[in-house]
Structure 1
Amino acid sequence: MKDTRHTGRIAWLSRRQYVRGVAGSALAVALAGCQGDGGEDDGGDGGAQQPEETTADSEDTATDTDDTEATTDGSITFAQAKSPVEFDPVVLNDVPSAEVAMLVFDSLYTYDEGTNLVPQIAADMPEVERGAQRWIVPIRTDATFQNGDPVTAEDVAYSFRAPVEEETENAGEFNMIDSVEVVDESTVQFDLQFQFGAFDSYLPWEIVDKSVRESDRDAYNTSSPVGAGPFTFDDWQEGEYVRLSRWDDYWGEPLPNLAEIEFVPVEEPTTRITTLRTGENDVVKNIPPANWETVENMGEASIESVLGTSYFYLAFNCNEGPTADPEVREAIDYAFSMDDAVGQYVEPTGERQYAPVPRAISEDWEFPVEEWQQIPHEPDLDRAKSLLDDNDSVPDDWQPRIIVPPDDKREQIGVSVSNGLSEAGYDATVQRLDWGAFLEQYVTGSADDYNMFTLGWAGSPDPDTFMYFLFAHDQIGTNNGTYYRNESMNEQIMNARQSNDDEQRREWYVDAIQTVLEDRVHLPAYNIKNSFGVRSHVSDFRAHPVDQFSIVSAYNNVSVQ
């Protein structure tokens, strides 16, 4: 199997952040990874396909630099799906904020143009001891913060300790760490509570300046963040803009071509596309399905996209109510076609998914997806009606309640289910909730609040970042809203989490995934592309499978013509 067990800040922001979109970065509560940028946007957490699989045309894409000369004093305006709200990596828990912070702060590790981990502030790959229970990381001695302070091993250790010690929403990302110790000025040692082969998926974490942050945490979060990244923080007006400037003394390579970047929130998807066409914005995030062809046909812009490491699904309340019965869940599977729903409402912005992990993970781990693809039923309304009518747990007047977040694609999945159930004789209701109300309801386990819900998750190219956070029993007891209990499945997930043997881990994951698919805890739906509209004068902008996009890196450097 190919070793792609890595994740990025956007891919694992805390669970709650991903859920609410900001789930433009799935890191967040036990929602550890729930995804969604609000509105029609899905956070772009998508499958970890390789960069050559991007969908921007190679001959006329906005990233083609063959016939033009890059400038080193340009600026771009980037339309986000929502406004950032904070910038301190220790506490920030939403995708728009993370999109800005990743340019101000450098991480311990980052990615190549695909999903392979590469050192950034780390000097080399970690040394792994004690069967993956101890990880020793060498630190570069030339890395500096934007105020001139050197990046020290203590800054690195502090950056990993602080989320847990301060009990931030990101603390759950590091619950496997027993201690983080400074071995010497250029070495940090992580000792874990158990052998954990997937720990490298948690090492791409941004490093903060301990002394500056401790002097005024509030200022560090909202007005004067100091990082070691290639851009400095200039100004922020919530709901209006964030302005960054190139740090000309950046310690790393390459120095950005861009002198300035302005991020502006444009929440309505069609309006974002309009600003791309008029040139008001140079880059816009998340192309809706209805506007995909429009952007493709723009002479002055093109689409840059790649499948992200994400997973969207219909989930059932297995705690109480009729959907706690697996036969009822099977009947609902018979009542509609997920293939048709995804084809009609998601493509070409994403692709059908048949497992609770993205296609790239299934390919890298050689999971039996072709077998799993046979588990969903073809639509059969007579069969659905028979299963429901004959089930004593289903009242004759049952009106299933489906709740969905404020996202058109996920709402349409819910409507497809509702239409099928109505044809089977059961009037289902679909309620679109704002993120606050949705996040409160979908974890109650009450059949009065929901029988089904639609959500998304973003993780890294390791199955642990999906299976553990979505299905393990210790996720605040809710299993992210399903309350599904299966001791054998849980043991397999936890065995895989506490192992450094990838072949054995694969066997456990195959069995666990088979169980959740056959029991229809979720009905997998789709994976979303990280997609961007890019004006033709912007060169070398890249979509990224984990980090969503790249402005400057070892493999690209955005400029304007």
Structure 2
Amino acid sequence: MKSLMSFALAIFMGMASLAMAEEAPRRGGTLQSVLWPEPPGIMTGIYTQSSALLPTTKIFESLLTYDFNLNPHPNLAESWEISPDGLKYTFKLRENVRWHDGEAFTADDVVFTYGDYLIEVHPRARAVFERAQVSKLDDHTVVFELKEPFAPLIRSFDLCCLIVPEHLYKGTDFRKNPNNLAPIGTGPFKFDEWKRGEYIHLARNDDYWRDGLPYLDDIYYRFVPDAASRALALETGQMHIATQNDLELFDVDRLSKLPHLDVTTKGWEWGSPIVWIEMNLRKEPFSDKRFRQAMMYALDQNYFRDVIFQGYAKVATGPVHSASPFYEPDVPAYRQDLKKAEALLDEMGLKPDADGKRTTIKLLGLPYGEMWNRSAEYTRQALRKVGIEVILEPSDPAGWATRTRNWDFEMTMYFLTTMGDPALGVSRTFLSDNRKQGVLFTNHAGYANPEVDALFNKAAVSVDEEERKQLYSQVQKILVDDAAVLWLVELVWPTVYNKKLHNVVTGASGPNSSFADAWLAE
């Protein structure tokens, strides 16, 4: 019996060893990724559109990374301490890190990035890091000192707040720096080439600080304009991965049934994206709350969820994502009701003419593919039913960004990462002191409400979790009643990938992670 058990154990151990050998990461290989649309640039902080982040996060890194529950983990910071009063954050940096040009990574780079660079170029980072004084204790220790507590700070070192080289950017015009065309980071992959209209090529960083990584030799991000061709490239194995706007969502279920492909919706916990239509409240009739409410009643959010986004979405009820611990469900509801919409328009004096038309407005659509074109077209059809004629304005990614940040729109459609904490990703859209013309993803609409400002500011510095929930509950009720923007749906992005590709989604940033430990089986 003993020898039989030993024999069985030997077989089991042999099978386990074989399984482990089969799962051992393989070095080498070229990852082929779809990327659409082609981004206007990939310099971190300056270009924050979704298509820019995918390659950017392979080149640059931050102090921390986050798991699916948004708990922080070491990255360029190997450890950190937070003072009992919540006013001092001390980070110990890794000592064996080099920039892609060979220069050493030091505390100077961190102080410059969070104390200067991001303050100027990044709207959300500015709202966070203006609260802190960043200083250097020694070459590998930095301190963030706050005048008042700001609990969300530890969750602020995300993929939009990546560190840049001081020696290449200090004293320059950040947006015109020639290094923006060939970014230099500390990440597992180096920028190699951008062939406009075709691809971005990243090559392995052989001097990466994590021993033995990355596994991949290189990554190609290929621009394929036609949605059907992008799906076909995955189907035939020419491409290994696609996510976000890369695929038409009606293709995802079909692709998920193919034996060589897998699908996951994990990895967007950090962003909590919400689709909405922003209105320029400086202009009539958008300045009238009744007009905004009428449009909310005219739109069918279920149609966006079920038809346009193919179920990869959830009806949005306000500015805070339902996954957030600060979400307030008890807000005014805008379920489609054409009679309510018409009554509000009548009350405003916008009576229909002989053709049933009350007014004409313009919508700047998001130029990220057919899904967004259908969203804009449905909006036009839905508002026409209550006498609002919509003129659709086409654009390209760079043009959309330029017009939106310069307030050159009547209505503009997009999706925004709202983060898990309203102080990080929500308040920037509504705070009156964040009306920054020329800066993307700020308060483009021109919304201003002193009560909302006070609630957001008080909640940001409170250290009492229950008090913060109550404050954010109040602010959500006000903003939803004001119809400050037209909330549509919360996005649930699918990532479709070849089963040969391993370690695709390992944390809250999903396919926007560094891919240092991603690998391809033969």
Q: Deviations over 1:45-102 (max 9, x none)?
A: xxxxxxxxxxxxxxxxxxx999665421222111211335555436444444432232
Do residues 469 (structure 1) and 428 (structure 2) align? yes
* Cα distance in 1 between the residues matched to 2:341 and 2:99: 61
Change (3 A) 1:82 1:173: farther
Distance 1:188 1:466 in 2: 25
SS, match of residue 342 in structure 1: helix
Q: Deviations over 1:447-503 (max 9, x none)?
A: xx52x4322111432111233211111122787333333221121012122333332
Q: Distance in 1 between matches of 2:166 and 2:337?
A: 60
Tell me by how many angstroms 1:182 deviates.
0.7
Q: 1:90 to 1:390 in 2, by over 3 A?
A: closer
Which residue does the alignment assign to 1:24? Answer: none
Of 49, 62, 66 in structure 2, the residue corresponding to residue 107 of structure 1 is 62
After TM superposition, the score normalised by the length of structure 1 is 0.76
Q: Residue 293 of structure 1: which of 236, 253, 256 is its match?
A: 253
Residue equivalent to 1:504 = 467
Aligned residue pairs total 484
Post-superposition offset of 1:201: 3.1
Task: Rate the CA distance shift 1:437–1:142 in 2: closer, same or farther, 3 A.
Answer: closer
Corresponding residue number in structure 2 for 1:532: 495
1:383 maps to 2:340:
yes
Alpha-carbon contact 1:146-1:227 (below 8 Å) kept: yes
Distance 2:253 2:462 in 1: 46
What is the identity, as a one-letter code, of the residue corresponding to 2:108?
E
CA distance, structure 1, for counterparts of residue 105 and residue 395 of structure 2: 44
Query: Could you tell me which amino acid in structure 1 is paired with residue 521 of structure 2?
Result: V
Q: Which is higher, the Rg of structure 1 or of structure 2?
A: 2
In terms of fraction of residues, the more helix-rich structure is: 2
Instruction: State how 1:124-523 maps to structure 2 within 5 Å.
Output: 124-128=79-83, 131-146=85-100, 148-163=102-117, 167-169=120-122, 172=126, 176-177=130-131, 179-192=133-146, 194-204=148-158, 205-211=161-167, 218=177, 220-223=179-182, 225-252=183-210, 255-286=213-244, 287-306=247-266, 308=268, 309-361=272-324, 364-365=325-326, 367-369=327-329, 371-372=330-331, 375-392=332-349, 396=353, 397-403=357-363, 404-407=365-368, 408-439=370-401, 441-442=403-404, 449-450=409-410, 452-476=411-435, 480-523=443-486
Deviation at 1:517, TM superposition (A): 0.8
Distance 1:270 1:314 in 2: 27
- Residue 201 of structure 2 aligns to which amino acid in structure 1? R
2:266 aligned counterpart, secondary structure: strand
Identity of aligned residues (%): 19
C-alpha change, 1:334 and 1:220, in structure 2 (3 Å) is closer
Q: 1:164 to 1:415 in 2, by over 3 A?
A: closer
Distance 1:179 1:238, change over 3 A: farther
**Conservation of the 8 A alpha-carbon contact between 1:357 and 1:466:** no
Which blocks of at least 5 consecutive residues in structure 1 are unaligned? 1-63
Aligned to 1:48: none
Say whether the 8 Å CA contact 1:421–1:427 is kept in structure 2. yes
Q: CA deviation at 1:168?
A: 3.3
Contact 1:539 1:559 in 2 (8 A): yes
Secondary structure at the counterpart of residue 306 of structure 1: coil
CA shift for structure 1 position 442: 4.9
Residue 3 of structure 2 is matched in structure 1 by: none
What's the CA shift for 1:154? 1.8
In the alignment, structure 2 segments of 5+ residues that lack a partner are 1-18
For the 8 Å contact 1:145–1:228, the answer to whether it is kept is yes
**Counterpart amino acid of residue 358 in structure 1:** H
User: CA shift at 1:113, angstroms?
Assistant: 4.5
Structure 1 partner of 2:518: 557
Residues 128, 424 of structure 2: 8 Å contact kept: no
